[in-house]
A and B are shown apart, each in its own frame.
Chain A
């Protein structure tokens, strides 16, 4: 589709991207302290939402516990900063968080995907993983390491940056501006990476897994391996997002909580599955509504969010991006195609549903 864009609309997109980038870069100079911290957090959440969307929106694998990998990243960096005070510990922590999430994903994925775990069981097992991590972090025996309910926030020392022995310096993690730009850089990198991924031939295969897994297998692809790869990529990305969130939010057992993983699903659903812009918008909108609701109605906001979520699922399954698409008038398969793939995996007899070839031709991500 990009190829058929006119010269004018190409420039419109470039203009829009530049405006958004400029707005993101300039925001801390305009917004108040509270908003800057909130948006930095949103940027980290958006990385999680993007990674969940790679899994769910693009590949059709819904994880109910994707927050677990965000939490693994966050705890990896947090614990590294708390216990290991060598120069460059922050970088190592980020690396450990990302790679750690990947390793766990590969191990889990090997068992699940070679066992042909279809849609919902995958979601439930990831959900169980989250609840188990929650109990581990919360366990009384782990209190001296993880801080239990109190979490890690404020317990770690200043990270040491620089090159060991040559150039070292220490900084606190409390500079809003530095945190904001770190999150922003991380988000942009994640977005560009995802965009590259979904537009590559691998991205096409992902959508083919979603649309018709059987056919892909008949064509000679090792679907289980492909699923492990995308699961690992998505989890690594989630872990990366988690590491970035360490300075800006409370790192406690709640990252392994159900509400957090559910929030991630809500961000993606509200923003629009199967698009890259959607999850980011979803994370922004929902987090803002949430912070507003929680000041107005204290704990009732979860109830509102749940209700809102049901309504979105029933009436607007393509989310905000679906509204936009309807307005713009481009035709694209997203939620519908995701469902088709699940239909296929659940109903015993494979039916002719999504057509891989035509959907490959029609789809092009943003």
Chain B
């Protein structure tokens, strides 16, 4: 029972991270038809941002905020220089961001070194949940993800900008004809997606080892989130995150990570076969 509860909480923290990463990816795909293969590298930069500012400020929280802001600003620069010139050539955006991913990974190797880095958890110790002891920091991550994702959902469903973003997802030409500044909204969303990725990276930096290649495993996972959940609504990636994170949590409990990888790939393939638009797409 205790082990099962622990595993449920582990699954929840997977869900939290996958949803944070997946949302940015799905927004971008849904709105701009742009696939950002460097999304995982934004995660990596977030983690390294936290690691780096640990030396400067000796404070995790300042590092986390700075990492998110810096990565978001950096992504705006990327949007300007890399995404926008290729806006009419979506496939080439994929390739260019793939190239960007390579460059960022290699640069991270040069700047931060090849070896794995560890960040100390800002909230040490354990908290007792329903009679079991569970890492307090992981609980915080779950709570944080819920708060942030709720914020994103409210932003999408209740604010003016969110309405415009949904309009673009629904029909870009029509939104543009009705006077929505699609470029501005796209840019904002790109920044937001990157910021969320960096937040996820910062949050996982004390949980996992941080390496220049860490973004890659997460981006493949996040793409499965998008595949499973589908784009087009804000609930897609969150639902996909629940399925992905949950199944990873369950499978890893019983089997080795390699088997977990295989099973998740198979699940994604079967889901794609049965529900091409994603499990949570509106019919």
- Give the interface of A toward B (CB within 8 A): 62, 64, 108, 111-112, 114-117, 119-121, 123-125, 127-129, 131-132, 135-136, 139, 258, 262, 265, 269, 299-300, 302-303, 305-307, 309-310, 313-314, 317, 335, 338-339, 342-343, 346-347, 349
Is chain A's binding surface mostly helix, strand, loop or mixed? helix
Q: How far is the CA of A112 from the CA of B100 in the complex (A)?
A: 27
**B103 and A307 contact, CB distance less than 8 A:** yes
Asked if B102 and A305 make an inter-chain contact with CB atoms under 8 angstroms apart, the answer reads yes
State A343–B92 Cα separation when bound (angstroms). 11
B34 to chain A, nearest CB (A): 9
Residue numbers in A under 8 Å from B123 (CB-CB): none
Nearest 7 A/B pairs, CB to CB: A306-B102, A303-B106, A310-B99, A115-B273, A115-B272, A306-B103, A309-B99
B224 CB within 8 Å of chain A:
yes
A339 CA to B265 CA, complexed, in Å:
27
Chain A residue numbers with a CB within 8 Å of B5 are none
Instruction: Find chain B residues with CB under 8 A from A302 CB.
Output: 102, 106
Q: Using an 8 Å CB-CB cutoff, how does the interface string of B109-135 with A read, 1 for contact, 0 for none?
A: 110000000000000000000000000
Complex Cα spacing A108 to B269, Å: 8
- Tell me which residues from 251 to 266 in chain B have a Cβ below 8 Å from any Cβ of chain A: 257-258, 261-262, 265
Cβ contact within 8 Å between A111 and B273: yes
The smallest C-beta distance from A146 to any residue of chain B, in angstroms, reads 13
Q: Which residues of B contact A305 (CB under 8 A)?
A: 102
Knowing A125-B269, A300-B106, the reply to whether A310 touches B100 (Cβ < 8 A) is: yes
User: How far apart are the CA atoms of A112 and B224 in the complex, in Å?
Assistant: 13
Per the bound structure, the CA–CA distance linking A151 and B94 in Å amounts to 32
Q: How far is the CA of A269 from the CA of B91 in the complex (A)?
A: 12
- Cβ B220 vs Cβ A128 within 8 A: yes
Q: What 0/1 readout, one digit per residue, does chain B (68-110) give for beta carbons within 8 Å of chain A?
A: 0000000000000010011011111011101111110011011
Q: Which residues of A contact B224 (CB under 8 A)?
A: 124, 128
CB neighbours (8 Å) of B101 from chain A are 306
The answer on a CB contact under 8 Å between B265 and A129 is yes
Complex alpha-carbon distance, A349 and B92, angstroms: 20
Query: Do the beta carbons of A117 and B265 come within 8 Å of each other?
Result: no
Chain A residues whose C-beta falls within 8 Å of the C-beta of B242 in the assembled complex: none
Pairwise interchain contact B258-A136, C-beta atoms closer than 8 A: yes
Complex alpha-carbon distance, A123 and B29, angstroms? 15
**Known contacts A131-B217, A306-B106, A346-B90; can you find 11 more A-B pairs with CB under 8 A?**
A62-B95, A111-B273, A115-B272, A124-B220, A124-B224, A128-B268, A135-B258, A136-B262, A303-B110, A317-B92, A347-B33
Say yes or no for B214: interface residue by CB 8 A criterion.
Answer: no
Contacts of A129 in B (CB 8 A): 265
A131 in contact with B261 (CB, 8 Å): yes
Whether the pair A117, B276 counts as a contact (CB closer than 8 A) is yes
Task: State the CA gap A347–B174 with chains docked (Å).
Answer: 13
B274 within 8 A of A: yes
> Which residues of the other chain, A, contact B243 by a CB distance below 8 angstroms?
none
- Indicate if B238 sits at the interface (CB-CB under 8 A): no
B269 touching A111 by the CB < 8 A rule?
yes
How far does the alpha carbon of A116 sit from the alpha carbon of B216 in the complex, in Å? 25
Q: Which residues of B contact A120 (CB under 8 A)?
A: 29, 35, 94, 223
* A300→B108 CA distance, assembly (Å): 11
Q: Which residues from A are CB-within-8-Å of B33?
A: 343, 346-347
Tell me the bound Cα distance from A106 to B23 in angstroms: 32
22 A-B residue pairings within 8 Å (CB atoms): A62-B94, A62-B95, A111-B272, A111-B273, A115-B272, A117-B276, A120-B29, A121-B272, A124-B227, A131-B217, A132-B258, A132-B262, A265-B95, A302-B102, A303-B107, A306-B101, A309-B99, A313-B99, A314-B92, A317-B92, A335-B89, A343-B90
In the assembled complex, B163 has its CB within 8 A of some CB on chain A = no
Chain A residue with Cβ nearest B274:
A115
Chain B positions within 8 Å of A135 at CB level: 257-258, 261
B229 to chain A, nearest CB (A): 12
Task: Known A111-B273, A124-B223; judge A300-B99 contact (CB<8 A).
Answer: no
Q: How far apart are the CA atoms of A156 and B21 in the complex, in Å?
A: 44
Name the A residues within 8 Å of B274 (CB-CB): 115
B95 adjacent to A313 (CB under 8 Å): yes
Q: Which residues of A contact B107 (CB under 8 A)?
A: 303
B81 to chain A: closest residue by CB: A314
List the A side residues contacting B265 at CB < 8 Å: 125, 128-129, 132
Q: Which of B186-235 contact A (CB under 8 A)?
A: 216-217, 220, 223-224, 227
A206 to B258, CA, bound (A): 36
Q: How many angstroms from the CA of A264 to the CA of B135 in the assembled complex?
A: 43
| Distance, CA A52 to CA B101, complexed state (A) | 21
B-chain residues with CB within 8 Å of residue A310 when the two chains form the complex: 82, 96, 99-100, 103
Q: Is the CB of A300 within 8 A of B91?
A: no
Contact partners of B92 in chain A: CB under 8 A = 313-314, 317, 335, 339
Please report the C-alpha to C-alpha distance between residue A150 and residue B217 in the assembled complex, in whole angstroms. Answer: 23
Nearest CB on B from A351, distance (A): 9
CB–CB B103/A342 < 8 A: no
What residue in chain A is nearest B220 (Cβ atoms)? A128
B282–chain A nearest beta-carbon distance, Å: 12
Whether the pair B102, A339 counts as a contact (CB closer than 8 A) is no
A314 touching B106, Cβ below 8 Å: no
Which residue from chain B places its CB closest to the CB of A302 in the assembled complex? B106
Q: Give min CB distance, B223 to chain A, whole Å.
A: 4
Report how far A116 CA is from B278 CA in the complex, Å: 11
B89 / chain A contacts, CB cutoff of 8 Å: 317, 335, 339
Instruction: List the A residue with the shortest CB-CB distance to B109.
Output: A299
- State A305–B172 Cα separation when bound (angstroms): 35
Complex: how many Å from CA A347 to CA B34?
10
CA distance A59 to B103 in the complex (A): 28
Beta-carbon contact of B94 and A123 below 8 Å? yes
Complex alpha-carbon distance, A124 and B86, angstroms: 20
Complex: A339 Cα to B110 Cα, angstroms: 34
**Does B147 sit within 8 A of A, measured CB to CB?**
no
